[in-house]
Structure 1
Amino acid sequence: MTPLLDLPSTHAASLSWRGLPAAQQPEWPDPAGLEAAVATLTASLPLVVPRECDLLKARLAAVARGEAFLVQGGDCAESLDATDAGSLLRTAGTLQQLATVFGYMMSLPVVTVARMAGQYAKPRSAATELRDGVELPAYRGDAVNGQAFTAAARTPDPHRMVRVHQHSAATLNLIRAYCGSAQASPAHAVEGLRRFADAAPERARYAPLTEDIARAGGFTGTGDGWHTPGELFMSHEGLLLDYESALTRVDAVTGTPYATSGHLLWIGERTRRADGAHVEFFSRIGNPVAVKTGPSVTGDELLRLIDRLSPDDEPGRLTLVARMGARRVREVLPRLVERVAAEGRTVGWVCDPMHGNTVTAPSGHKTRRFDDILDELSGFFEVLTGLGAHPGGVHLELTGDDVTECLGGGAGITPPDLPLRYRSACDPRLNGHQSLDLAYRLLELREAVRAPGVPEALR
């Protein structure tokens, strides 16, 4: 019998990035500990297998061709010490409900991807943090160090990566069970939307929309070969290259290496250097990949990234996640979309309306304003549809829990509310109510531009 996977002990994907500039990597103080952790991970079972990654790539190919829509979301940073089954299932349910609204809005199949089972490492703007005259290493996510501001907690510990693998495996086990249950059915998602609409301050607006969605059957546009209800893929930022390369496995049939830590990995705004270690590693794996692009990226830089990461122009291989900020999206995004189109390249265009809109509240909490998030999403749709391109999806930091981390929305969260239930380990997330409120508000805006008298280019 042909084995499913081979170990990657000397494969180029595990080695070629070493020696290249690698941004945002921890300064591990214990080389022997790092070697031991990497050896344990290298001998560990994969979290996902190539067939699943290839299936997601096929789904994302439909997104790139304008035949599907991507809904991606979840925690900013997962926690090793606060893993909660109820919270994970609430977030999975929120994603499914969002997929139902967006599927109706776009009249397309929906690809649903969670920021789960691996989102344990975070890039930081500074390597250290200063409090009351004490300087310690910055918190880089639970895969690296702890949140507590003590020397012991903030010292990078490579054995945390082994715990990440264990927790990610448990998370995947729970989510796979959820996906096979009645909770993952379209009917269950519609009932969740009804409960949301009935309790929303905007009930008079949202209840009729919910019934329209229900009459459409929840998920819409599900064509041949699509089984979107219950399908939920896993993703995270592929930041820690020691972790990712240790979990690289080779498909025994094709000889292609895959990062088996998740189905989809992305490169962040701070690590997208075309000649850097992250792009080199990502260029070698068979997974679908994504790149976050902020307002500073140029057309030439973007094309170099496309050439490195998708040289064969394979649909579904590369997704570009624009994170411009509400003030810049209408100014910066058009020239990038036009440049990529002019070169005839096939990519998926997705909007991350979170990271370009972060502000600091008077209380010192990092937060985001609901109206800014909605404005950036609206601008993204305006730009793509105005240029005759496909607005391929949304990428949100969210939770199904009732947190108070982002301002505004139907929940009416104000600055004094932020400390009440601010639980994020890093950046602020939309709560379940705000996430659905965002989808309904965008649906209303899309319905408005499709009204009679609106220019065809904006529909």
Structure 2
Amino acid sequence: MDGVKDGVMDGDTARDWRALSAAQQPAWPDPGALGETRAFLRSCPPLVYAAECDRLTERLAAVARGEAFLLQAGDCAETFDGVGVDQIDNKLRTILQMAAVLTYAASVPVVKLGRMAGQYAKPRSSAVETRDGVALPSYRGDAVNGLAFTEASRRPDPRRLRQMYHASAATLNLVRAFTTGGYADLRRVHAWNRDFVALSPAGERYERLAREIDSALAFMRSCGTLPTELETVEFYASHEALLLDYEDALTREDSRTGHLYDVSAHMVWIGERTRRLDGAHVAFAAGIRNPIGVKLGPSTTTDDVLALIDRLDPERRPGRLTFITRMGAERITDVLPGLVEKVTASGAQPVWTCDPMHGNTYESASGFKTRQFSRIMEEIKGFFEVHHQLGTHPGGIHVELTGDDVTECVGGANAIGDEDLRTRYETACDPRLNRSQSLELAFLIAEMYRARRRDARGSARPAEERR
């Protein structure tokens, strides 16, 4: 059985989200087409399986204990046209390259979680977009309507949810083939980094670390100790659980346990605009067994966070809950310490990750929505600094990126300027880091991790040794 009856999740463990206020939902103009689409989705095979979701929960529990690091990355908004071998290849390759650098530098496993295979819907600050006096519904992602500014394109169409399912299935199939077929072999992945080290203006800065990784792999190979695990990689999929008609229709009851799982992704998260405690999104997430993420902006209070823990993780299950902070570079060191302190004192142990993208978005002089690489790094540094001072674990990062050579975020070692944005500004929604900027970010975080470990070792030595 699929755990869904007439659009309402079965079981006493799940509330009927339809009885509650659901923010950011499209005004579907054709209820009949929506009903047909929901019926189709309820009949579809799962995109992921409950056991895979449970395995991710176990991996995230290790992150919460400080034994691993979470890299959650991918597109701001996937598009149906972007479901191609080259696009998925480039994106996956970039994430795996970042993970290879972080794994070596942090000396802990890196949990790899893509913002992909389902990130086809976006919340918007306004329901309407106006151009030259013409007002049309805002673009809400390919799952809802089209990007072209025409009446036909911007009309919400629930049949797009079928396309979302098929595009997600195609993406997951390709990712699984890549990650289990030798494509993700660590030796191969690190070799991909060499062109970045060679071509980046800051290449010398990273060459030392890159050589160390090569040396470690060469030593293991010469000793005959390269494990077969290097040939494959665990890779999980996540997206924002925004469109509740879609998520609900893909909720299934696990035959092993009787628990409900949203089988559209291994992990889903609730956005800053939809995390109301009395709202439909929180009610939906409370009823499923998947690991859950929650975005926390600068207005978040300690009462908000503690109430979210009680609502979404009443059992205090390790790995169940991930808080994704998106404070902005100016606010991170002011707001985050109080939240972490209160949560730690409560005995809860969520994963803490940093989204340095959304709090640092602005409009450039040339009129493009963009982000400054230095501000992104400043927020990450503040995130690490807070956790270092409190003795807690900076669990990971959550970034929007692409493996393509776009020009959407300014700065970085290649010094993309405001005038360069128009060259290859291709995002359907928010600006993303390109491959070079993403790898630079990974190397900089690796340096921070190393410095943090050196400080920890230094403070652990007897006082007479430190003198």
Q: TM-score, normalised by structure 2?
A: 0.92
Distance 1:284 1:83 in 2: 31
Instruction: Give the equivalent residue in structure 2 for 1:343.
Output: 346
Distance 2:16 2:26 in 1: 19
Instruction: Give the equivalent residue in structure 2 for 1:277.
Output: 280
**Aligned partners of 2:113 and 2:235 also within 8 Å:** yes
2:315 equivalent among 298, 312, 315: 312
Instruction: Give the equivalent residue in structure 2 for 1:179.
Output: 179
Distance 1:14 1:85 in 2: 38
Residue 446 of structure 1 deviates from its aligned partner by 3.8
**Aligned partners of 2:106 and 2:449 also within 8 Å:** no
**Aligned partners of 1:333 and 1:383 also within 8 Å:** yes
1:266 equivalent among 265, 269, 279: 269
Instruction: Give the equivalent residue in structure 2 for 1:130.
Output: 130
Deviations 1:167-218 (A, max 9, x none): 1111111111001122201001110122211111112211111111233449
Residue 364 of structure 2 corresponds to residue 361 of structure 1: yes
Distance 1:310 1:226 in 2: 32
RMSD: 2.1
Specify whether residues 429 and 228 from structure 1 end up closer, same or farther in structure 2 by C-alpha distance, changes over 3 A only: farther
Distance 2:43 2:283 in 1: 23
Specify whether residues 390 and 204 from structure 1 end up closer, same or farther in structure 2 by C-alpha distance, changes over 3 A only: same
Amino acid at match of 2:328: G
Distance 1:356 1:227 in 2: 36
Distance 1:355 1:429 in 2: 10
Gaps of 5+ in 2: 221-226, 461-467
Gaps of 5+ in 1: none
Specify whether residues 158 and 21 from structure 1 end up closer, same or farther in structure 2 by C-alpha distance, changes over 3 A only: same
Instruction: Give the equivalent residue in structure 1 for 2:189.
Output: 189
Deviations 1:3-54 (A, max 9, x none): xx64522514776111101110001111111111111111111101101101
Instruction: Give the equivalent residue in structure 1 for 2:300.
Output: 297
Instruction: Give the equivalent residue in structure 2 for 1:397.
Output: 400
Distance 1:348 1:172 in 2: 25
Say which SS state the counterpart of residue 397 (structure 2) adopts: strand
Say which SS state the counterpart of residue 294 (structure 2) adopts: strand
**Aligned partners of 1:122 and 1:141 also within 8 Å:** yes
**Aligned partners of 1:109 and 1:226 also within 8 Å:** no
Amino acid at match of 1:20: L
**Aligned partners of 1:145 and 1:157 also within 8 Å:** yes
Instruction: Give the equivalent residue in structure 2 for 1:119.
Output: 119
Residue 89 of structure 1 deviates from its aligned partner by 1.0
Percent sequence identity over aligned pairs: 53
**Aligned partners of 2:26 and 2:156 also within 8 Å:** yes
Distance 1:334 1:456 in 2: 22
**Aligned partners of 1:7 and 1:42 also within 8 Å:** no
Write out aligned runs for 1:201-220 (5 A): 201-217=201-217
Say which SS state the counterpart of residue 17 (structure 2) adopts: coil
Residue 285 of structure 1 deviates from its aligned partner by 0.4
Instruction: Give the equivalent residue in structure 2 for 1:75.
Output: 75
Residue 82 of structure 1 deviates from its aligned partner by 3.1
Specify whether residues 189 and 443 from structure 1 end up closer, same or farther in structure 2 by C-alpha distance, changes over 3 A only: same
Instruction: Give the equivalent residue in structure 2 for 1:165.
Output: 165
**Aligned partners of 1:325 and 1:357 also within 8 Å:** yes
**Aligned partners of 1:110 and 1:228 also within 8 Å:** no
Instruction: Give the equivalent residue in structure 2 for 1:443.
Output: 446
Specify whether residues 192 and 414 from structure 1 end up closer, same or farther in structure 2 by C-alpha distance, changes over 3 A only: same
Instruction: Give the equivalent residue in structure 2 for 1:326.
Output: 329
**Aligned partners of 1:14 and 1:246 also within 8 Å:** no
Distance 1:355 1:228 in 2: 34
Instruction: Give the equivalent residue in structure 2 for 1:431.
Output: 434
Instruction: Give the equivalent residue in structure 1 for 2:59.
Output: 59
Specify whether residues 452 and 162 from structure 1 end up closer, same or farther in structure 2 by C-alpha distance, changes over 3 A only: closer
Amino acid at match of 2:166: Q
Task: Number of aligned residue pairs: give it.
Answer: 449
Instruction: Give the equivalent residue in structure 2 for 1:200.
Output: 200
Distance 1:321 1:456 in 2: 29
Residue 456 of structure 1 deviates from its aligned partner by 3.9
Distance 2:230 2:285 in 1: 28
Specify whether residues 15 and 383 from structure 1 end up closer, same or farther in structure 2 by C-alpha distance, changes over 3 A only: closer
**Aligned partners of 1:259 and 1:287 also within 8 Å:** yes
Instruction: Give the equivalent residue in structure 2 for 1:154.
Output: 154
**Aligned partners of 1:104 and 1:216 also within 8 Å:** no
Instruction: Give the equivalent residue in structure 2 for 1:8.
Output: 4
Say which SS state the counterpart of residue 19 (structure 2) adopts: coil
Say which SS state the counterpart of residue 18 (structure 1) adopts: helix
Instruction: Give the equivalent residue in structure 1 for 2:256.
Output: 253
Instruction: Give the equivalent residue in structure 1 for 2:20.
Output: 20
Distance 2:244 2:209 in 1: 45
Amino acid at match of 1:127: A
Distance 1:285 1:379 in 2: 33
Say which SS state the counterpart of residue 60 (structure 2) adopts: helix
Amino acid at match of 1:337: V
Specify whether residues 144 and 131 from structure 1 end up closer, same or farther in structure 2 by C-alpha distance, changes over 3 A only: same
Specify whether residues 379 and 455 from structure 1 end up closer, same or farther in structure 2 by C-alpha distance, changes over 3 A only: farther
Specify whether residues 449 and 290 from structure 1 end up closer, same or farther in structure 2 by C-alpha distance, changes over 3 A only: closer
Residue 455 of structure 1 deviates from its aligned partner by 7.5
Residue 87 of structure 1 deviates from its aligned partner by 1.2
Say which SS state the counterpart of residue 191 (structure 2) adopts: helix
Deviations 1:154-179 (A, max 9, x none): 11000000110011111111111001
Distance 2:309 2:229 in 1: 28
Instruction: Give the equivalent residue in structure 2 for 1:97.
Output: 97
Instruction: Give the equivalent residue in structure 1 for 2:463.
Output: none
Amino acid at match of 2:168: S
Q: TM-score, normalised by structure 1?
A: 0.94
**Aligned partners of 2:106 and 2:450 also within 8 Å:** no
139-148 vs 180-189, greater mean Cα deviation = 180-189
**Aligned partners of 2:71 and 2:397 also within 8 Å:** yes
**Aligned partners of 1:109 and 1:228 also within 8 Å:** no
